[in-house]
Amino acid sequence: MKGSCLCGAVNFVISTKITGLYQCHCQLCQKQSGSTSNTATIVKDRYFEWLTGEDSISKWKKTSGFTSDFCKTCGCPVPNRLRDTPYYWIPMGLIDSDEQSSFEEVKISSHICCHSKALWDRLPESGTHYDDMPDDLDSFISMLSE
Ligand SMILES: [Zn+2]
Ligand SMILES: [Zn+2]
């Protein structure tokens, strides 16, 4: 499936099946998304490929390690490598709408960093709620894609 930024400069393709999505409600993700949370998934790097616009990406990194990569032209958040891991973080809003049929059985299965959510953010009853990050990050990631 393909994804792109708001202005279309940055394009990428994912060649694996996505099986789960999560929302991170931490304060950094609130600011990065301008909303309650990021809705994202994580894929193995061998299934992720840039098509165009890698040179259009700016990077901002907090000393804690939190990274925000975004399109220089439109400011849209774009995928980035999860620190030194073999995984890419994928912001789901970038997946193009003609790919929606791939998601008929996929839902937001987890909410993380729920303790730092915005006061006006009402979490749904559904899904697994984590106060902070999941303890077992590897098994968490393995539920998100094949
Ligand atoms: Zn852009
Ligand atoms: Zn977060």
CA-to-CA distance for 54 and 57, rounded, in angstroms?
6
Q: Categorize the per-residue pLDDT at 63 as very low, low, confident or very high, splitting at 50, 70 and 90.
A: very high
CATH ID of 2-142, from 3.30.428.10, 2.170.150.70, 3.30.450.40, 3.90.650.10 = 2.170.150.70
Cα of 2 vs centre of ligand 1, distance in Å, is 15
* Amino acid 104: pLDDT: 83
In which order are the strands placed within the sheet that holds 11-14? 2-4, 11-14, 48-52
Pairing of strands 21-24, 38-44: antiparallel
Cα of 117 vs centre of ligand 2, distance in Å, is 9
Q: Quick one: which ligand is closest to 77's CA?
A: 1
Asked if pLDDT for residue 69 goes beyond 80, the answer is: yes
Domain ranges of the chain: 2-142
Q: What is the mean pLDDT of the chain?
A: 94
pLDDT digits (tens, 9 = 90+) for 81-133: 998 899 999 999 999 977 777 788 899 999 999 999 999 999 999 999 999 99
Cα of 23 vs centre of ligand 1, distance in Å, is 22
Cα of 93 vs centre of ligand 1, distance in Å, is 13
Helical (H) or strand (E) element with 66? none
